[in-house]
Chains A and B, each alone.
Chain A
Amino acid sequence: MTELTSSTIAELRDGFRAGEFSAREIAEDFNAAIVAGRALNAWTVETPELALAAADVADAARGDDTLKPLSGIPLGIKDLFATEGVDSTAGSNILKGFKPPYESTVSSKLKDAGAGMLGKLNMDEFAMGSSNETSAYGPVISPWQRSDGGNAALTPGGSSGGSAAAVAAGMAPGVTGTDTGGSIRQPAAFVGICGIKPTYGRCSRWGIVAFASSLDQAGPMAKTVRDCAIMLEVMSGFDPRDATSLNVPVPKWEAGLSSDLKGKRVGIPTEYRIDGVPAEIDAMWEQGVEWLRDAGAEPVKISLPHTRHALPTYYIIAPAEASSNLARYDGVRYGLREMGVKSLDDMYAATRAAGFGAEVKRRIMIGTYVLSAGFYDAYFTKAQKVRSLIKRDFTEAFELCDCILTPTAPSAAFGIGEKMSDPLAMYLNDVFAVPASLAGLPAMSVPGGLDGQGLPLGLHLIGREMDEQGVLNAALAIEERAGFTARAERWW
């Protein structure tokens, strides 16, 4: 038998049901892997007792035949999700010690489905970052290292960096992530796992610390496409407490998995071929096209003419929404309060100065500026108009194809510290991920292979609104052909 910690969710679920091992054994093995993996700094809180408690319930349920979809499966939860009684800080000092008296909709759906919680996962502060380096808890270290014999610490990507590292290092079989402009897909690509951001509104945002509300979406990250389908089915669904939650049935994505793409057309957008992207990324993309062709799909050239405007549009809209959402951190109701000041106004300013990190301040400032009197139309309204054009590009493209294939990120994982001094260079990480976010479309990263330095590269599939199945199926076709079984060699 393979180690439980290197098994997929589907294998754990089925093996547990067949009586090959107990839920308690699963939880104990992952709890131990988390302790052994502390050098990676992937977790902000460890909750082994919660994982064990859920496991005991699952073991009892197996005895009396009351199993639920995720009985026996322990999961990691990104620190952006409010978890009742367990510190939920969004990777920020300003929320240090915050213990929510309630549970987010998504995490409570997972728990109601029988899953246990292994702990909370490190992330970029308020999900603002692409390398996990903006976290108040310090960066997560990727389990992957370059094959050049050096041992340079690499980033697992971000903002769901702890989530990515936890799965890649065998510390959790599956985790939640959130994606505002690539925060599930880029880290999934960097560590060689799968991650899907569903259609905007599929997963409730209730109880997820808000960054940019018109973009934020939760989604699963796991080793395989099937595991993502299993988790997403549980995480999705209408929630009256989220004003933009979609009131539509949740399809049976796992049962609908099929890698037969006969009759499907895959769009290859010309504008995603950009200068400065390593040849290996382009080669991986070409390979992806061939894999989909082999699965029966017909590749077609498409054009998304406003692609190059997506990043600047995003970097107006997301900071604007963030500056509004983060106004609530004022030192009054929860989290940090900076004392030693005379007035209420000074307390707000001192609290926010002490509690927010540099990147969060930068984005609040940009957002405040683009929303301020005299600049609102020139920046914010303009960006919302360009966003309409970006959305229209996709609508027109989907008249010619059923899904779109691109690279996930313009590079493999980079070293910690390499891009922190240049915000714009960091923002460029999400050049391929952001357009789908702006258009609210389902999109997924699936591992394609390794680059010359032995680091994972991801392929990115974008689907029509509500067509998660199409995205999952195309990803499955790639997964079956890529045969990606490489795992980070254990050094920690």
Chain B
Amino acid sequence: MSVDAEQVRHVAKLARIAMSDAEVEALVPEFNNILGWVEQLAAVDTEGVEPLTAVIDQKLRLRDDVVTDGNVREKVLANAPDAQHGFFAVPKVIE
């Protein structure tokens, strides 16, 4: 499989990374180079092999259904580029 500029542009949109046409063009060969290399895996026989889900076998723990945090609004907002009235502020979403 190889990708063209249109597909790279689509992936950039999915990844929410703004890219100029020049950046997209530069990425096309790099992308194809890397994809071409990882595609060698297609040749590995994985018939009947389960995909690995946990690298060290262990059960996922459950914890008690209780509140373990909260009441730290100031701490949560402390690093926000724009915090107003106790909230994260973002550009207007609804016209």
Contacts and interface: CB of A to CB of B under 8 A. Distances in A.
A78 B13 CA distance: 32
B57 to A, nearest CB: 9
Q: Which of B34, B54, B61 has the most CB of A within 10 A?
A: B34
Contacts, number: 164
Interface string A378-415: 11011111111101000000000000000000000000
Contacts of B27: 362, 365
A419 interface: no
A313 B63 contact: no
Contacts of B46: 382, 385-386, 388-389
A99 B54 CA distance: 32
Given A337-B81, A343-B91, A388-B51, A365 B17 contact: yes
Contacts of B22: none
Nearest to A317: B52
Nearest to A316: B38
Interface in A99-128: 99-102
A378 B44 CA distance: 12
A274 interface: no
A25 to B, nearest CB: 36
A332 B44 contact: no
Interface stretch (A139-147, A256-264, A350-358, A475-483): A350-358
Given A214-B55, A353-B19, A368-B14, A423 B78 contact: no
Nearest to A101: B75
Contacts of A347: 90-91
Contacts of A201: 56, 58
Interface string A185-202: 000000000000001110
A342 B93 CA distance: 9
Contacts of B30: 362, 423
Contact of A312 (B1, B37, B78): B37
A246 B39 CA distance: 34
Contacts of B31: 365-366, 369
Contacts of A272: none
Contacts of B37: 312, 315, 424
B49 interface: yes
A296 interface: no
Contacts of A97: 79
A365 B12 contact: yes
14 contacts: A101-B79, A200-B56, A246-B56, A309-B40, A312-B37, A327-B16, A342-B91, A353-B19, A365-B31, A366-B31, A381-B51, A385-B44, A385-B50, A388-B49
